[in-house]
Amino acid sequence: MIGLLGISYKTASIEKREIFSFQKDEIVPFADYLQKQTGISDIVLLSTCNRTELYFTQTKLDRLTAIEKVIETIKDFKQANMECSRYFYHKFDIDAVKHLFHVASGLDSMIIGEDQIIGQLKDAYMHCTEAALTDAILMRLFQKSFEAGKRARTETGIKLGNLSVSSTAVEMVAQEIKDLSDKRLLLVGAGDTGSLALQNMVKKGIGQTAIINRTKETACKLADHYHSEVHSFLSIQSQLQKSDIIIVATGAPHHLITARMVKKAMSKREAPQIYVDLSVPRNIEESVAELPKVKLFAVDDLQKVIEENTERRREAAQKAEHIINEVAEEFNDWMVSRSLRPAIKIISENLEEVYHQELENFKNIESKEIRKAVDSYTKHITQRYTRLLIKNLKEITDNGRNTDSLNIINELFKLEANNRRDS
């Protein structure tokens, strides 16, 4: 059984997701603890800012018991004294496979088709594989997920255009200022939207960055990742004066930056400024746009571009679904064929035993030529019937999908083998 237990931005707030996030150095100790508590030893653990997902294989526990034990193990390991089951989702077998392929393709991301997730998946897979935590099934599964992700991006238009408010805003800023290397960004608000804006600005080559956020701890975590300065709200006026680009993305119900503040900041600088308000309700007073040498972009200014790109990506996502289904079916065929291996092995061993028993009846023949002919013919008949039985086995069991027929065949050949050993 392939299992998946996950928590993501779709099911839980960042405060809840943070509780169940994993650092790399926690994965092996967690795997050891999981094996001790549940017997599950083959895993890949993916942990990003938007999701924590545990993929595993096991055969000893039923589905419900496996999930209950895994949730309790994660809670114990993270010392989470809370009822959290409602924040987790779980999937099994082909549903888990398709979910992973959606993740790898960027279809399950905040930004449809984004590239970052595929690198994060590869890092998670490699870390667990190097730690000897993955079996043949997980290895095959993740290799196929990389294939699905690559095909979805290269064979469709899923990456065309910017989808999120943040990435669209950054593109518009980059169009206004061609060279960002000597510019300074002030980010007000370190939530998901602000974090994504900062990430995109860094990719664009922004020279310096500073963060102001209501919760200093959150700002410091983000700042550590992007080597940014952290300042308090009390210093916002002085920070406005120093900054070329100001992006605001908070949940505040009122204006944090007024025209008076911007006018005061501009009186002490010569270079123009760009303000981007990604907040609803607005956090930057609308009249800021009327000041000289100042440009203001708000959500409404970006929405048209986003909607156009969203529609293009939706069409591409439908094409990506066909690719995911195709690659998932290939993986499923490989999985079900694995279930035939024990039966094929038993058939081959049984007929091989018959072959050797029959040769025993001719061991007293003096003629080497006759013994050689008997040996050759017996071997030929054995191989022929082996191929015929395996062909019929695949047809009867629908290549391993019909588990009832497969179980009957397994028991039949086990019985035959036991009878011969007892006789």
**Per-residue pLDDT at 423 exceeds 50:** no
- In the residue annotation, 84 being an active-site residue is answered as no
Whichever domain contains 129, its CATH number is 3.30.460.30
pLDDT > 70 in the chain, percent: 82
Q: Are residues 185 and 213 in the same domain?
A: yes
Determine how many CB atoms are found less than 10 A away from the CB of residue 146.
15
Residue 315 lies in a domain: no
Q: Are residues 146 and 185 in the same domain?
A: no
Give CA–CA dist 309/4, Å, rounded.
32
**pLDDT, tens digit (0-9, with 9 covering 90-100), for 208-249:** 999 999 999 999 999 999 999 999 999 999 999 999 999 999
Mean of per-residue pLDDT scores for the chain: 85
Q: How confident is the model at residue 30 (pLDDT cuts 50, 70, 90)?
A: very high
Least confident of 230-234, 397-401, 417-421: 417-421
Q: Are residues 131 and 150 in the same domain?
A: yes
Mean pLDDT confidence for 55-67? 94
Q: Are residues 142 and 169 in the same domain?
A: no
Does a cis peptide bond (omega within 30 degrees of 0) precede residue 281? yes
**Per-residue pLDDT at 284 exceeds 80:** yes
Q: Are residues 217 and 96 in the same domain?
A: no
Mean pLDDT confidence for 377-390? 70
Determine how many CB atoms are found less than 10 A away from the CB of residue 109.
21
Residue 20 lies in a domain: yes
Give CA–CA dist 380/384, Å, rounded.
6
Higher-confidence residue of 45 and 340: namely 45
Whichever domain contains 199, its CATH number is 3.40.50.720
Predicted local distance difference test score (pLDDT) of residue 419: 46
CB 320 within 8 A of CB 156: yes
Does a cis peptide bond (omega within 30 degrees of 0) precede residue 29? no
**Per-residue pLDDT at 279 exceeds 90:** no
Range among 109-123, 259-273, 290-304 with highest mean pLDDT value = 259-273
Pairing of strands 42-47, 273-277: unpaired
Predicted local distance difference test score (pLDDT) of residue 195: 93
Q: Are residues 274 and 354 in the same domain?
A: no
Least confident of 121-125, 204-208, 263-267, 277-281: 277-281
**Per-residue pLDDT at 96 exceeds 60:** yes
Which amino acid is it at 216? Answer: K
For residue 3, the SS3 value is strand
Burial of 281 (0-12, 13-18, 19+ CB in 10 A): exposed
Q: Are residues 7 and 140 in the same domain?
A: yes
Residue 398 lies in a domain: yes
Q: Are residues 237 and 124 in the same domain?
A: no
Predicted local distance difference test score (pLDDT) of residue 109: 81
Mean pLDDT confidence for 139-150? 96
Residue 378 lies in a domain: yes
Higher-confidence residue of 75 and 160: namely 75
DSSP 235: G
pLDDT > 90 in the chain, percent: 55
**Per-residue pLDDT at 375 exceeds 80:** no
Mean pLDDT confidence for 279-295? 91
Predicted local distance difference test score (pLDDT) of residue 220: 95
**Per-residue pLDDT at 351 exceeds 60:** yes
Pairing of strands 245-248, 184-188: parallel
Predicted local distance difference test score (pLDDT) of residue 353: 74
Mean pLDDT confidence for 123-136? 96
Q: Are residues 105 and 232 in the same domain?
A: no
Which amino acid is it at 312? Answer: R
Mean pLDDT confidence for 377-405? 66
Domain count, the chain: 3
Predicted local distance difference test score (pLDDT) of residue 420: 45
Predicted local distance difference test score (pLDDT) of residue 416: 46
Q: Which domain, by its residues, includes 138?
A: 2-154
Q: How confident is the model at residue 35 (pLDDT cuts 50, 70, 90)?
A: very high
Mean pLDDT confidence for 337-345? 69
Q: Are residues 297 and 189 in the same domain?
A: yes
Strand partners, 90: 5
Higher-confidence residue of 122 and 280: namely 122
